[in-house]
Chains A and B, each alone.
Chain A
Amino acid sequence: MTEDTPDGGGGEHGMTRRQLIRHSAWFGGAIVLTVTAGEVISHIPGSANAAPASSADLRFVQVSDSHIGFQGPANMDVTGTFAAAINQVNSLGFRPDFVMHSGDLTHLSTPAQFDQVKQMLSQLDTDRVFAVPGEHDSIGDNGPRAYRQAFGQNTLGDGWYSFDTHGVHFIALVNTLHLEQLGHLGNDQIDFVRKDIAGLSSDTPIVIFSHIPLFAMYPTWGWGTDDAVQLLSMFRRFSSVTCLNGHVHQLFSKTEGNITFHSARPTCYPFPKPGEGPAPLPVVLPAGRLKDAIGVRTVNYWQGNHALAVKDEKLA
């Protein structure tokens, strides 16, 4: 697997203009997904960042949906696959600046499950580990409390926060509380973001983490956030906004104007594609095929470049 992120300008893995247009049509926006040796690399056309990851200024990792505590035929060993994902991150050949777990760390929000996943995350070879909660980490009254005890240090409100590194502004949101049909942010959190970004220059790259997608991926299955439009309208002035989420247990990317959305693979088990079958039931794959449907994501950023290069890898 090459570390290159080929751009539209050709080269060994480069895409022709025609391919680029076709890919754009598939995904409803100007995002290119390049499949190389079974792995998917995406980037924004026009961002000439065909540089190797080793030269990147900022490298971080997203893992998602470990569902520690799940038991079932879709994955008889979620602890094992999450441990394998952690090993894979530790074997990337570089030390990521941070690792973000984008939610559903646990399956049932129990203190024991939170303890276990926190202990496992401490094995990561990185300076900082971040998280946002999933709806499986938010069950009942005790779930949100246990989540915040384990992962909510230095957060505001129900657990949201922001931070800056390498000139990128990161915002981590909670959209798994007070649910009605879809994910929900609430006015307090939207006000936090409004104040948080007020002083930022419009060319600051923005990365927003949430568990449930901030775009309407498939509202029938709850794959959307009811007040996301209110949130995202505040980001129109920025030249680069990248939203990274979990929840849907499959890769999906989409661009709307200046905003690019990337749903990540889980480390537990896949869900069906939107609308395939009656419900987002865990998919039971033939033996040996599970690791093709789960994995980890690395994101590279070069200072002065607006776009981030997102690279999704299957579980090794």
Chain B
Amino acid sequence: MTIKNFAFSPPTLTVKAGTKVTWTNTDPDAHTVTSKQGSGGPLQSAALATNETYSYTFTQPGTYPYYCTIHPFMTATVEVTP
């Protein structure tokens, strides 16, 4: 997963359960990878400076919406299939 120009790319990522997903921030500003409020999701990165990464291994199938808490208009989803 890449974070570029204030967008998560791709906006929807589909992976099998057990897959480790890594986000890399290529922007000059900082971003976070954070599960949407109220979604109960597990994503909770620190603020990622340029070229910093965050990884999470999805074990449970489901839909995981997330956003950047610094720039909350940045949203995306990970779909985890069995």
Interface residues, chain A, CB within 8 Å of chain B? 71-74, 107-109, 135-136, 138-140, 178-182, 219-222, 278-282
CA distance A222 to B70 in the complex (A): 10
Pick from A72, A221, A281, A282: contact of B73, CB under 8 Å: A221
Pick from A74, A181, A219, A281: contact of B5, CB under 8 Å? A281
Interface SS of B by simple majority:
loop
The answer to whether residues A107 and B28 also contact, given A140-B47, A221-B73 and a CB cut-off of 8 A, is no
Does B6 have its Cβ within 8 Å of any Cβ on chain A? yes
Given contacts A222-B71, A279-B7, A281-B6, contact A108 B47 (CB under 8 A): yes
On chain B, which size bracket covers the interface?
10 to 19
**Other-chain contact of A281, B28, B47, B70 (Cβ < 8 Å):** B28
Which residues of chain A have C-beta atoms less than 8 A from B47's C-beta? 108-109, 139-140
8 interchain residue pairs of minimum CB distance:
A279-B6, A179-B72, A278-B5, A72-B28, A279-B5, A222-B73, A139-B47, A108-B47
A–B Cβ pairs within 8 angstroms, 6 of them: A108-B30, A139-B30, A139-B32, A181-B73, A182-B72, A279-B5
Residue of B nearest to A271 (CB): B29
Q: Which residues of A contact B32 (CB under 8 A)?
A: 139-140
The reply on B17 being an interface residue by CB < 8 A is no
Q: Quick one: closest B residue to A142, CB to CB?
A: B46
The reply to whether B70 and A139 contact each other, CB–CB distance below 8 Å, is: yes
Is A139 a contact of B28 with CB atoms below 8 Å?
Answer: no
Instruction: Judge if B50 is at the interface, Cβ distance under 8 Å.
Output: yes
With A140-B69, A181-B72 as known contacts, state yes or no: A74 contacts B30, CB within 8 Å. no
Q: Whole-angstrom distance between the alpha carbons of A74 and B47 in the complex?
A: 19
Q: Give Cα A220 to B37, complex, Å.
A: 20
Query: Is the Cβ of B28 less than 8 Å from the Cβ of A73?
Result: yes
